Structure 1
Amino acid sequence: MMPFSELVLASHNAGKLKELQAMLGDVVRVRSIGEFSSVEPEETGLSFVENAILKARHAARVSGLPALADDSGLAVDFLGGAPGIYSARYADGQGDAANNAKLLAALEEVPDAQRGARFVCALALLRHADDPLPILCEGLWHGRILHEARGDQGFGYDPLFWVEEQQCSSAELPPALKNQLSHRARAMALLKQRLGLA
């Protein structure tokens, strides 16, 4: 039995909100941190997990609700795991198109065999702002980086992320299928197990 009927998602990203609400279904209402505050905490952690906890704690404090934070990003093998925790601000906060352009430029001469990458998602669920035992779940989605963008679904690096088993980019997947395969879906499946919802 779900211990609460609603929670706040520590993100202003409408794409993430939509995806997570779809994954949780009608069991719990997911509200955006934007309903409570426009202030974003500084992501001072050095890992996805640290930043997820930091964001969840902030969201729980400003909303008074249980909080779920997702810190996710793209780790490219050839770039030593970059952009990693800096994925969203890889191109100095100029947005998805600029991030994708910078990544393509960084991999311009790199052959397919060395373009391996994975999307990483760390989820942190805090029951309240001072929760000393966050529920932590991680999901990985392996693929490689394309030489040019393909597809118009999803957000972020989806147009550049080749999904081998589907023979298309993440941005070419129907949203319902992406919500079954993605790093976020894998982390959410673990979270649902931990909450007894699976």
Structure 2
Amino acid sequence: MQLIIASNNKGKIREYKQLLQPFGYDVVSQSEAGINIEVEETGTTFAENSALKARAIYALKHCAVLADDSGLVVDALGGEPGIYSARYGGCENDADRVSLVLEKMKNVSEENRTAHFVCTIHFIDTDGSEIPVEGRVYGKIGYEPIGENGFGYDPVFMYEGKSFAQLGAEEKNGVSHRANALKALIEKLNERKQV
């Protein structure tokens, strides 16, 4: 069964393929599904933005759709970058956004470097029913980018002594915010089957 991910982010699509193909979904990006729209994220929360994206794609294709909105929430920065994680500070690329976070955190003590990633998923099934879920993972902001894997803020998000960019795909997919949101979604899908 085809499942369109309302995104063209290669890192995100790769993670979803790894996590969802074992459940029988043929996971495709929105461009692979022939959809060339950019849904404006006008919501004020991760949940609102993921719902906007999922509903826009479902209106076009009427098949299973999964949209997420995710980002980094840094406590010492008052929750920044938050829903603006992908375009934080007007920066053009991940490296510049990571540098901006590190610059803003340069005088923050170790105990105050707490942060978490949030992922909200909005799933719309082929029948139009909607399931919203959220996942989180807690850690700290490091002092410099470390590691070669992952994307986005992974090189500075420290989880149990390693950055997310130091974790292999399998290890990250077991603990990430996206994995936790997907676990919640799979639980809900299994509950529906049993009704």
Q: Fold conserved (TM > 0.5)?
A: yes
Q: How far apart, in 1, do the equivalents of 2:113 and 2:145 lie?
A: 14
Q: Is 2:13 aligned against 1:13? A: no
2:144 alignment partner, SS class: coil
Identity value in percent:
42
After TM superposition, give the deviation of residue 65 of structure 1 in Å.
Answer: 2.0
Whether the aligned pair in 1 keeps the contact of 2:21 and 2:27 (CA below 8 Å) is no
Cα shift at 1:112: 1.1
**Residue number in structure 2 paired with 1:158:** 154
2:172 matched residue in structure 1? 178
3-state SS of 2:90 partner: coil
Please name the residue that 2:27 is paired with: 30
Q: Which amino acid aligns with 1:189?
A: K
Number of residue pairs matched by the alignment: 189
Local SS of the residue matching 2:137? strand
Equivalent residue runs for 1:119-198 within 5 Å: 119-127=117-125, 131=128, 133-164=129-160, 167-196=161-190
Distance, in Å, in 2 between the alignment partners of 1:134 and 1:54 is: 12
TM-score (norm 1): 0.91
Amino acid at match of 1:73: G
When normalised by structure 2's length, the TM-score is 0.92
Structure 2 unaligned spans of 5+: none
Provide the rounded CA distance (Å) in 2 between the counterparts of 1:63 and 1:12: 16
3-state SS of 1:72 partner: strand
Q: CA contact under 8 A between 2:6 and 2:65: conserved in structure 1?
A: yes
State how far apart, in whole Å, the 1-side matches of 2:173 and 2:119 are.
Answer: 13
